[in-house]
Amino acid sequence: MTAVLVPMLTAGSVVIAAIATPFVGGIMQARIGDRLRAAVTANFELADKLRALDPAQWQQEIHDIEGLLRRQVQQIKERDEAELNRRRDWSALLVLAFILAIGGLLLWLFYRLDQWWSWALYWLLALFLLAMTAAGFDRALHPPAPAPSNSDPAPSGQNAA
């Protein structure tokens, strides 16, 4: 029983970790963005308070805070632009799940046969599934750019006919 259960639990934990990693990373990025926005708000308030005290006395600090604010706002802008340009291809994950389900069943069958040729096929299939998992996640997280549609205007210098 443990000879079958251990490989199945190992494969299951690897698949769960591979699926959960992007979600956890997204949550962490959201927290970093929220902290950055809160820091910008706090720095704006600090700069306003320093200007209200005595601008001549606090001129260097106000200048430093303004420089920091420019960098923080630029970073927020870059994060927001990256978020707008990010695409996901969820169908690639569905195809990957289908391939892993069939491949997992075949791995289990090859494992149960316990012959020299079944072990060779087992490891070939395991390497293939590992490569397909990497390719599937890469395709899902970094899909190719969409092809231009026929309704797009022709580039200048070319005939539309």
Token representation of residue 28? 């962490």
Token readout for 82 is: 């990256």
| pTM recorded for the entire structure | 0.43
Query: In this predicted model, what pLDDT tens digit does every residue of 108-156 receive, in sequence order?
Result: 998 888 888 988 999 999 999 999 999 888 888 877 766 666 655 555 5
Q: Where are the beta strands (DSSP E) in the chain?
A: none
In this structure, what token pair is assigned to residue 95? 């195809």
Q: What is the pLDDT of residue 161?
A: 43
> CA-to-CA distance for 109 and 114, rounded, in angstroms?
9
> Which position has the higher pLDDT, 82 or 130?
130
Cβ–Cβ contacts within 10 Å for residue 16, how many?
Answer: 10
The radius of gyration of the chain from alpha carbons, rounded to an integer in Å, stands at: 27
Compute φ and ψ for 157, nearest 5 degrees.
90, -5
The CA distance from 158 to 26, in Å, is: 43
How many angstroms from the chain centroid is the CA of residue 138?
Answer: 9
Both tokens of 154, joined, read 């022709």
